[in-house]
Structure 1
Amino acid sequence: MSSKRKRKIPDEYDILTMKLTQKLKKEVGNDLAAFLLVGSVADGNYVKGDSDCDFFLVVKGDRDKQVDILQRIGEVKAEFESDPSFSTILDLNVFFEEDLTEEGVSASSIVNWVHIWTGQNGVLKIGDKNPFNKLKLTEEKIKRGARQMAMDYFFMMRDAFLNTSSERMPELAFYASDSAIGCAQALLFFLGERKFTRYSIPELFKEKVSIGVDPKIVTDARDFRLGAKIDNIKNYLEKCYDFSWSIVKYMLEKTD
């Protein structure tokens, strides 16, 4: 039986991946344990024009050099973010090899077990081995990662509400939408779902989740990200906030 072929990566994602890989090899290659393409572009489930091109970069464990390495990575990142062709699609997450241990993941607020799962399903671009594969995943670990993931999205939205002027409503709506989608995604991970895309979340959420939240919120959030207009943004922000907090609260209450 033939396996399903992955979709061809669009040119803008393919060019970004190629150029960023080349630049990182040149500037920090000797200090990298791995560089991976991850997420929807890696697995072919992207939405062209909206999906980010996500990367995980793992720095080797030499603590004495990490400030210099991070600065050089930052310069590369800034160069690509200043390019209009890539500025809206590049998403680069940086991890340290020494943190990719059982103890490191459990103690860290930067890397969680959903990151580990994502890394294990990534495509290696720099490095001989995928460092995420050395860790053993369990359902309980992924649940812990999902809880952290939901809290991260919720607190990013809350910080945006605190630090962004109410005159910039479209920007606030973006953060609210991201939180609603991200928290819904985290809950699906928490409930054991794996085979879904960021943009199939609303349908799966409606089918699988029964915790007393309105699934229409995550549908509206996805549609907003795809260009739909919102008539009452203030009301929408409040609904996304309540929706996200309800998911965080549910998962915290289910903590053993």
Structure 2
Amino acid sequence: MEYKVMKKKFSKSVQTALKEDLVAIIVYGGAASKRIFSGVSDIDFFIILKSLDNLSKPLSETYQVLSEVMMQYLEDPLFSSILDYDILVEDQLPTAESLRGFSSVRALALSEGELLYGENPFKDLKIDETELKYGARVMVQDYLDKLTSLLFMPNFDVVPEDGEKVEDESLEAEREFLAVDAILSAGQAYQMVQKKEYVNMPDVVLFGETDPIDGIDNPLLQDAGLLRQGVDVNVDNFYNRAIDFCGSILKLI
């Protein structure tokens, strides 16, 4: 229920705050197709502003207006954990001739997004297979780099006031969160390249069981899906397997 309420309330607040400077509001990802991990999936908003030359006020002032809207929701426990957003001006959008550095994976997701206000400039955007593969590889490589970086980060002990050392569990929790995200996103990138359409996270997990990928640690997808939903699952060597999983996906894309 909170997803439907959030989309309506947030969109209305942004429209009221930005008025004529707003071009479009798009919800993309699982929240657009209603294929989500209930309670833990984000709502991804994409806000498009007028070009810099056509804004009624300087960009910094426009961002300040938006930040005041965001804070209302980020301070609300009902919405803070599921709100995610990007803000771009029209000058930054891809064109029919070039993606202009814009992620092809995200462009594909936005082309199938739910329009809450204005017109969707991604709807008729053509993304060829080469562009999609490149965007997918960049996405997986980014996660692989993050996983590798966090792997070599030392796990310092915490020394409380009584002077007795205890193991710092925050780094392990951060590693698990990143590994879950990396596995699901890598699986998503692969499936999007194969199907040439946006694939929701719950479907990524499902494909790991019904349409397994040759040479890939497919059970890890189910484990990551369960962990994403808060299920207590004990997975041996989870972090290192996540690194290997992303590396294997890179070879296949």
Q: TM-score range by the shorter chain?
A: 0.7 to 0.9
Distance 1:71 1:77, change over 3 A: same
Please say if 1:24 is aligned against 2:17: no
Contact 2:176/2:239, CA 8 A, preserved across alignment: yes
Secondary structure of the residue aligned to 2:88 is strand
Please say if 1:116 is aligned against 2:116: no
Aligned equivalent of 1:245: 247
Q: Residues 224-243 of structure 1: matches in 2 within 5 Å?
A: 224-231=227-234, 235-243=237-245
Aligned residues: 236
CA distance in 2, matches of 1:196, 1:67: 35
Distance 1:154 1:29, change over 3 A: farther
Aligned equivalent of 2:136: 146
Question: Cα distance, 1:182 vs. partner?
Answer: 0.3
Contact 1:154/1:183, CA 8 A, preserved across alignment: no
Larger Rg computed on CA atoms: 2
Letter in 1 for 2:36: Y
Distance 1:55 1:104, change over 3 A: farther
Pick one of 123, 126, 137 that aligns with 1:133: 123
Query: Which stretch has the larger CA shift, 57-66 or 181-190?
Result: 57-66
Q: TM-score, normalised by structure 2?
A: 0.81
Please say if 1:94 is aligned against 2:96: no
Query: Which stretch has the larger CA shift, 143-152 or 167-176?
Result: 143-152
- Unpaired runs of 5+ residues, structure 2, are 156-167
Q: Which structure dedicates a bigger proportion of its chain to helix?
A: 1
Structure 1, residues 154-193: CA drift from partner, whole Å, max 9, x if none?
3444555567956212232111100100011001112235
Distance 1:245 1:104, change over 3 A: farther
Structure 1, residues 94-122: CA drift from partner, whole Å, max 9, x if none?
233222224896442xx311222211211
CA distance in 1, matches of 2:62, 2:8: 21
Pick one of 164, 182, 191 that aligns with 1:179: 182
Higher relative contact order (CA 8 A, sep 6+): 2
Secondary structure of the residue aligned to 1:125 is strand
Contact 1:54/1:92, CA 8 A, preserved across alignment: yes
Contact 1:150/1:187, CA 8 A, preserved across alignment: no
Distance 1:135 1:173, change over 3 A: same
Of all paired residues, the percent bearing the same amino acid is 27
- Unpaired runs of 5+ residues, structure 1, are 1-10, 252-256
Contact 1:105/1:113, CA 8 A, preserved across alignment: no
Aligned equivalent of 2:49: 59
Aligned equivalent of 1:8: none
